[in-house]
Amino acid sequence: MTTQLDLYSAPDPERTAELKRTGILEESDLITAGFLATAPGGHPPRNSGLPRLEHPEETESWVDARVEEGSEFIKVVVESTDMPTLRTAAPRAGGNIPVTAAVAHPSIIDVRGRVSTDEQALDGAIREEQDYLDGLYARVEQLRAEVEADLAAAPAGHGGSAQDLLDRDARMAALATRRADLERAENGLYFGRLDRADGERIHIGRMGLRDEELSPLLVDWRAPAAASFYTATVGSGSDVRRRRHIRTGRRRVTGVNDELLDLEQAGPDDGAEGHQADAFVGEAALMESLTAHRTGRMGDIVATLQGEQDRIIRSGAEGILVVQGGPGTGKTAVALHRAALLLYTYPRIAESGVLVVGPNATFLSYIEAVLPSLGETQAVLTTPDTLLPGVTPTRAEDAAVAALKGHPAMADVIAAAVADRQAPARDTDLTFDGDTFQLAASVIAAARSHATRGGHDFNSAGRAFREELWSHVTDLVVAHGEQLLTDVEEGFEAELRRVDASLSKGTDQLPGQVDAAGTEVTGTVAAHERDRVRAELEADADVAAVIDGLWPALTPEGFREDLLGDRDRLVSALAAIDTDQTLGESGPIELLHRSAGGGWSLADIALLDEAAELLGTDDTDNPSAAVAARERDLAYARRVLASTGTRGVSAEAMADRFAERDTRVLAERAAADRTWAYGHAVVDEAQELSPMQWRMLLRRVPSGSLTIVGDVHQTSSADGTTSWDTLTAAHPRRRWQVVELTVNYRTPQEVVDAALPVLRALDPTAPQPVSARSGASSPWRLQVDEDLIGGTAQLAAQEHAALAGGHLAVIAPPELLTDLASAVADLVPGTSAGEGLDLDSSCVVITPTQAKGLEFDGVLVADVGGILAAPRGLSDLYVAMTRTTSGLGLLHVGDAPEVIAQVPIRSLG
Ligand SMILES: Nc1ncnc2c1ncn2[C@@H]1O[C@H](COP(=O)(O)OP(=O)(O)OP(=O)(O)O)[C@@H](O)[C@H]1O
């Protein structure tokens, strides 16, 4: 049964009196106002402490009230159900607190506490915004109809040149994009309004819309005109008088919150909240969003961005912006919104795309919907292990080997190893046609010096080197031939003289100075004869082996195998650097040598990329990419011709046009090309990257425009960054700026406080983190000495049931994962774990590394001691404890580790 409640209603005084009489409300409870609104579907937020609805389609109601200074809390009393009463976060003075209560039988909901508002003003505001929203949708419908008409009117595609077909293709693609844009309008199209002192109103939304006269109806949130929606505060000098947040559910306005920024203008009953300079922007809308259920996927926060976040998002595209921030401060959200803003603002970035790098595939699934929801598809989402097209790491590797391969000195090792492959200058013999020729060391050295002049890559320089040697060898062979001819000639003349003498008959002319093949028998070889000699030389496998061997064409993969698989080569390359001091004394040669063969590891990717950069492309040996591209173009051309019924154009001719104008979408082209120059890159969980991975990444963005977000207290990889100074110092020529986010939007203050000793153990000087809300969680710990797996699984089942459909993560050390996942799955069907983690599952069992960047309604940390035992155990524990939006349980074997000792104990009940 669906129950509809009035959108807004004042509390019923009679009913209130009855509630006081029956003791549900206390006499001292002051009820000044209460409002209800309904939105079908959904569940109460986890933080409400209310059970999930068995039939969520019945109703979900929320109460929105302004809480005045001095109030401690507001409480929602739900009569006629046995649901607990709700105590929300202690309100900030002057802020709005949304309270969500799910009511199966909503006979009455009252708000108590000192709350006040003017429901008539709100009612009017909602009607006003509903009218505006209706107008926006009318315009959207009109634009949609135009796009559909254009699509229908597009020529069927018969006949015409290949160029015409391509133009038609491009036009259809543009119309389809426009249609997709307009479809996005169904979700949160309009969310903000600014009233300026001069009476101008700006309506802000997910996209820009204009009326038929081209006057703006809706300003895209990214446009400069929208900036003050996120940043204007009382006393900030802006001319904004009122900021209004409009909450919508599809095409219906469900709530309005006003903040008056020009307090002198605000009357006492303006129906709006005053705004403190340090308060949140649109607090009611923000709190509603923060306490909503997690879905397993990140959503955009475009309606509730806060000032410090907005300033980062809008800062210019130049240089590298490092955003440091504790857990939950919105770094990921900010980085993605910044990418959307840059794509919108700078055409040159849109033309070359944005690279988004995240720590693992699960994290990419978690964030993948954010940019499309903001209308941006020109981004390539990737992880460090897929940054090198065509190479997939399949091999696990020791942390010590991985750390060694990630060390910045490996760049010198690779460079030295590459140099070692360039023509060692020693006398070298080769045999051709039964004769032995010598390439003198001095000739090889000169050719090498000519080839490396001008800073060419290894393979280009190698081509020049080999060409010089081929030419030299040809000279040697030709000279040898000339010598033979001279010898023959001299022998012939001697013979003639002998004959002359014997015949006593003089001669001054030899028969035929030029023979039939054009060879000048006087000693100079004709050009075409030289070419013939060169061709014969090149066809000689032994000669080619000697010349190619002096400076071989190399692929990065072959080079890496040759290097790591050959102890002598390693010794020689490592001799280039002071191994004791730079790579440690743990036997770098042995560690690296051992890691040869058996596929690629993650750390190999950056080494291969470094090698690829120095080696350059080897087109001669690798035509396959070009062949594959041609086949793809041909197949596509045939499909287009077949589907459009075009005659008179061959698939080959059309494919030729594709080759000139690659029809793959930008993101596809970029992802397949190692040398693609992205317009901007976003690097998330950036603290995890090794110095060698940084070199690889920075190469992808020659413009040097990057947004790097991370937290140096959450670093878990052995070769990751624990100070941004190290990173900036390693690349002094780049332009760096480090900024900080300070407020945790994910984790309630109680959890932040519970994690504080861990943070302080990591860094005693770390600033005290602040959360946006409190009162939503009571972290606990429990000693589980016997049957850790079974005990944890049981607790997980209990917690999962208590979440009533909310998302639970059990975070455990890697060695427990398999057993724990199967034990939890026995009790909680549908539990997901391991590779290919299903984020839609309401229960997951994961390691701290896998949990990076994710968030859940509740978290159970299994075996705190086991997590702390890892090389970066404190960081891992800090990550694990800060993934929750509400509940946190910590399980430990034996005495509680010191860093969690002050968390209250929960007894097994
Ligand atoms: N202004 C905001 N409005 C609404 N929600 C927000 C806002 N800022 C952050 N959040 C929410 O807070 C949560 C944490 O954000 P996010 O994952 O971006 O933080 P983070 O700094 O990357 O965290 P971590 O370092 O722990 O991975 C997300 O659910 C995000 O949507």
Q: For residue 27, which phi and psi values (nearest 5 degrees)?
A: -55, -40
Say yes or no to pLDDT of 12 above 60.
no
Assign domain 310-388+674-743 to its CATH architecture: 3-Layer(aba) Sandwich (3.40)
CATH class of the domain at 749-900: alpha beta
pLDDT-derived band at 640 (thresholds 50, 70, 90) equals low
743 lines ligand 1 (CB under 6 A): no
Query: Average pLDDT of 165-177?
Result: 75
Q: How far apart are the first and last CA of the chain?
A: 36
Atom of ligand 1 nearest to the CA of 853: 27
pLDDT-derived band at 65 (thresholds 50, 70, 90) equals very low
In this prediction, what percent of the chain has a pLDDT beyond 90? 34
Contact 168, 657 (CB under 8 A): no
Nearest residue CA, atom 26 of ligand 1? 327
The three-state (H, E, C) secondary structure of 536-600, written as one string: HHHHCHHHHHHHHHHCCCCCHHHHHHHHHCCHHHHHHHHCCCCHHHHCCCCCHHHHHHHCCCCCC
Mean pLDDT of the chain: 77
Nearest residue CA, atom 1 of ligand 1? 305
Please report the pLDDT score of residue 80 as a whole number: 30
Structure tokens at 327: 């857990």
Chain centroid offset of residue 752 CA: 26
| 750 Cα to the center of ligand 1, angstroms | 17
Query: Of the candidates 261, 286, 290, 297, which has an alpha carbon nearest to the alpha carbon of residue 276?
Result: 261
Q: Which residues make Cβ contacts (< 8 Å) with residue 692, sequence separation at least 6?
A: 405, 406, 407, 408, 410, 411, 603, 606, 607, 610
Contact 851, 682 (CB under 8 A): no
Establish whether 45 is an annotated binding residue. Answer: no
pLDDT tens digits for 729-775?
999 889 999 999 989 999 999 999 999 999 999 999 888 888 988 76
Please report the pLDDT score of residue 161 as a whole number: 62
Query: Average pLDDT of 862-886?
Result: 94
Burial of 216 (0-12, 13-18, 19+ CB in 10 A): middle
| 497 Cα to the center of ligand 1, angstroms | 102
Helices (H), 681-777: 691-700, 724-730, 749-762
Residue from 231, 288, 305, 329 to probe ligand 1 pocket by mutation (most atoms less than 8 Å from CB): 329
**How far is Cα 709 from Cα 323, in angstroms, rounded to an integer?**
5
pLDDT tens digits for 458-477?
888 899 999 999 999 998 99
Query: Average pLDDT of 811-830?
Result: 95
pLDDT tens digits for 76-85?
443 333 333 3
Establish whether 327 is an annotated binding residue. Answer: yes
Highest mean pLDDT: which range of 58-62, 128-132, 563-567: 128-132
Nearest residue CA, atom 29 of ligand 1? 746
Say yes or no to pLDDT of 75 above 60.
no
Nearest residue CA, atom 24 of ligand 1? 327
Say yes or no to pLDDT of 29 above 60.
no
Residue predicted with more confidence, 651 or 252: 252
Residue spans per domain, the chain: 13-117, 121-293, 310-388+674-743, 402-470+502-615, 623-663, 749-900
Query: Average pLDDT of 613-617?
Result: 83
pLDDT-derived band at 564 (thresholds 50, 70, 90) equals confident
| 287 Cα to the center of ligand 1, angstroms | 13
Please report the pLDDT score of residue 583 as a whole number: 63
Q: Are strands 843-846 and 884-892 parallel, antiparallel or unpaired?
A: unpaired
Residue predicted with more confidence, 728 or 633: 728
Between 556-564 and 409-420, two packed helices, what is the crossing angle to 10 degrees? Answer: 100
Say yes or no to pLDDT of 251 above 60.
yes
At 220, is the secondary structure helix, strand, or coil?
strand
Do 310-388+674-743 and 749-900 show the same overall fold?
Answer: yes
Give the least confident one: 14-23, 407-416, 667-676: 14-23
**How far is Cα 722 from Cα 763, in angstroms, rounded to an integer?**
10
Q: For residue 61, which phi and psi values (nearest 5 degrees)?
A: -120, 150
Say yes or no to pLDDT of 595 above 50.
yes
Query: Average pLDDT of 374-401?
Result: 85
